[in-house]
Structure 1
């Protein structure tokens, strides 16, 4: 999942920039509030793309941390189970003649 998010981090900012480029042929056909909003979006596209990329990068970092914690927990659980199994007296639970 972290690898997919890492790729998504790079792709999302690029997609926002491609959206502006794809909409450029419509620029001359817009007017009023729609044109003002598009112009504002276009003027801030680099900042918007950077913010999106930074947000996804932070999510990716969190996913990496969770993955490390799960792996550590899994290893510790297995080690504890082995230790407790080695110390257990399974013969004491047997019924019958010895």
Structure 2
């Protein structure tokens, strides 16, 4: 199995995820606002659940944003690890090529 990823893939993914974090809070607030016309139509457990969601919207947003921040941290760590690995691989290849005795590998014939 071959895994091939461009050098900027994780950086671009991180930027997109950061933008999603901002959008998420806006979407949750929009959901609460768009459901307000239905507020008087809920009864029983449905009303209690809706009221709880509405009251906890900021808490839910903060928890989701915290989770996204952790994802961003993981992506940044992976990006750094891939970058470091690529550089180390290049450095090792150059070092080993410099130490190789190519003359000994020649075939005379």
Q: Shared fold by TM > 0.5?
A: yes
Aligned residue in 1 for 2:61: 49
Task: Tell which deviates more after alignment, 38-47 or 24-33.
Answer: 24-33
Q: Number of residue pairs matched?
A: 97
**Structure that is richer in helix per residue:** 1
Task: Find the residue that maps to 2:86 and give its secondary structure.
Answer: helix
- In structure 1, the partner of 2:94 is 82
Q: Does 1:27 align with 2:39?
A: yes
Q: 1-side partners of 2:25 and 2:71: how far apart? A: 15
Structure 1 gap segments, 5+ residues each: none
Q: Between Structure 1 and Structure 2, whose CA radius of gyration is higher?
A: 1
Q: CA RMSD in A?
A: 1.0
Runs of 4+ in structure 1 off by over 6 angstroms are: none
| TM value normalised by structure 1 | 0.94
Match of 1:66 among 70, 73, 78: 78
